Structure 1
Amino acid sequence: MSEVSRPAARTSRAASRYGARAVLGAVAVVLVAVPFVLLLVLVEDKWSPLAAADQGARDDLHRYALAHAGFVAVMRFLSDSGSAHAWVIIMALVMGWLLWRRLWRLASFVAVTGVGSSLLNTAVKTLVHRPRPVVDLALVHEPGASFPSGHAQAAVTGYGILLLVFLPVLRGYWRRAAIAVAVVMVVGIGFSRVALAAHFVSDVVAGFILGAAWLAAMTALFSAWRVQRGRPAVQPAQGLAPEQAVRLDPTQPDPPADAPAGE
């Protein structure tokens, strides 16, 4: 092969790899989104088995909550930890840290993914306009529609963002612990919304699925951008930008002002 044709061949192979990854990313998003669409159709059609499961879980958990004040206190704590106000504070702190460490694109990923998830949830709630569960003695008073659960969607999106951004600086036990805490908190926040009769089970499941689909879509876009820049595609198990581990590590000194920006 001539010297002239080699760069063209490399460019062609890179474009082919980029196209294949883009297709795989799109397939992954669709596979996550399909269950959400199916669940939405069942909710809109008031499918009797799903309605019975929703109402049964609402009534059983509400009766238990009314008889156990300690259980209600734990559920309130979990629910409050996943509120919009809590996530605004957390994401603002994360973005501030990333900007301080000159990781502009990671900060943009956090902002776009977090804000976009909230806007998407509001849009779907407005379109579906499902009433919230009705109980005799309400433990919480929530405004707005019920489907999908904003707390559940924000939990998946928020903890997913934190893991994708900070996995590069976590090793061994700390990585396993962070993943375990994220899973427990996501499940706990979703469960608390049903236990407090703020949502039906199907609302929470829909929030989980929609949050995962949105996170997958944003990760695929970030990965495509990396490939275009000649960097490896995102491997979720390694985080969004594993090469930026030093900048992400709070134990490392601040990068000098004239240092090139990272991701």
Structure 2
Amino acid sequence: MHTNLVGRAHEVVADIPRGDAATLDLVVLVGGAALFLGASVWRSIEGRGRAGSALSALQSTGLAAAFAALAYQVRAGGLLTGVDPAILGWFTAHRSDWVTGPAIAVTDAGGPAGTIIVAVVIGVVLSRRARSPIPALILIGTVGAAALASTLTKSVVGRDRPPIVSQVLLETDHSFPSGHATGAMALFMMAAVMFGHALPSARRALLLVLAAAVTVVVSVTRLYLGEHWLTDVVGGILLGGLAAVIGGALYTSWMDRARVRGARSPDENITTDSGRRYPTTLGRAA
């Protein structure tokens, strides 16, 4: 089944007229990025109001469109891939022993095993605070779904890795999108959203900035070590961001429903020293 689906996807992509689709593809990519940014700015102004679900849908649509357009660019060898060799050459020309060691450590920690371990640990912490397994399931499910989507996309696009001579750590599987960038973006953005759910907007923004910074560091190590092209890590960030937006919307929806249930069940409330009452199903704010 998997082989048939991948084969059919290859046929569909191959049947698209490359010249005729190039301009439309770029328009879709730019339009998708603009839609995501616009919805994100609007959401930062509106906060978590009634428009939250609609804005999440717009963010998801924008990221999905941008990712699909970039995947086509990579598959078709489009204009955007022209910068990849220059970026790879710059990183390989600026390697040094004191950077290579830490870069390998970061890329090892950001691999599949490291990502799973961190996701489980963060999920356990969030679930203990919420007194429910749902936060852990949402977090681990989001990261897992992002990893699966990355693997399937690699098979469909079928892009080769950078030349072996450029790689510090030999990897021979398909290249687009970067699994490290996908996993880091999905994991750390979801953690920022979940830990910052009940915090003031300034602190939520700080958590998101920190999550983005960690993702960039992991992504840059993949370029520095010659394991990926620039468009690979950009694609991974887009895909991981898409997973985080969807997972964040699920978590926000669950938290809102849990808060309503707690408010309707006085017996489940606890009284703090300050006299305020909180639902025990939520525990501390996650």
> Would you say same fold, with TM above 0.5?
yes
Identify the match of residue 29 of structure 1 among 60, 65, 69: 60
* Structure 2 unmatched ranges of 5 or more: 1-48, 261-269, 271-278
Identity of aligned residues (%): 23
Conservation of the 8 A alpha-carbon contact between 2:180 and 2:236: yes
Q: Would the alpha carbon gap of residues 137 and 121 (structure 1) be closer, same or farther in structure 2, given more than 3 Å must change?
A: closer
Partner of 2:126: 98
Partner of 2:281: 261
Give the partner amino acid of 1:78. Answer: V
Q: Would the alpha carbon gap of residues 52 and 183 (structure 1) be closer, same or farther in structure 2, given more than 3 Å must change?
A: same
Partner of 1:81: 109
For this pair of structures, how many residues does the alignment match?
218
Secondary structure, counterpart of 2:165 in structure 1: coil
Q: Distance in 2 between matches of 1:33 and 1:121?
A: 13
Conservation of the 8 A alpha-carbon contact between 1:87 and 1:158: yes
Please give the TM-score of this superposition, normalised by the length of structure 2: 0.67
Structure with the larger RCO, 1 or 2 (CA within 8 Å, 6+ apart): 1
Q: Residues 216-255 of structure 1 correspond to what in structure 2 (within 5 A)?
A: 216-225=245-254, 231=260
Partner of 2:141: 112
Q: Residues 1-263 of structure 1 correspond to what in structure 2 (within 5 A)?
A: 21-47=52-78, 49-65=79-95, 68-101=96-129, 102-136=131-165, 138-168=167-197, 178-225=207-254, 231=260, 260-262=280-282
Deviation for aligned residue 1:88: 1.4
Deviation for aligned residue 1:78: 2.3
Secondary structure, counterpart of 1:147 in structure 2: coil
Q: Distance in 2 between matches of 1:175 and 1:261?
A: 22
Q: Distance in 2 between matches of 1:64 and 1:172?
A: 39
Conservation of the 8 A alpha-carbon contact between 2:135 and 2:251: no
Deviation for aligned residue 1:180: 4.3
Q: Would the alpha carbon gap of residues 260 and 184 (structure 1) be closer, same or farther in structure 2, given more than 3 Å must change?
A: closer
Q: Distance in 2 between matches of 1:182 and 1:228?
A: 26
Q: Distance in 1 between matches of 2:123 and 2:222?
A: 28
Give the partner amino acid of 2:101. Answer: A
Give the partner amino acid of 2:183. Answer: A
Conservation of the 8 A alpha-carbon contact between 2:197 and 2:252: no
The 4+ residue runs of structure 1 with deviation greater than 4 A are 168-180, 224-231
Deviation for aligned residue 1:42: 1.1
Please give the TM-score of this superposition, normalised by the length of structure 1: 0.72
Instruction: Note the alpha carbon deviations across 1:90-142, whole angstroms, 9 max, x for none.
Output: 11212222344423221221121111111111111111111111142531112
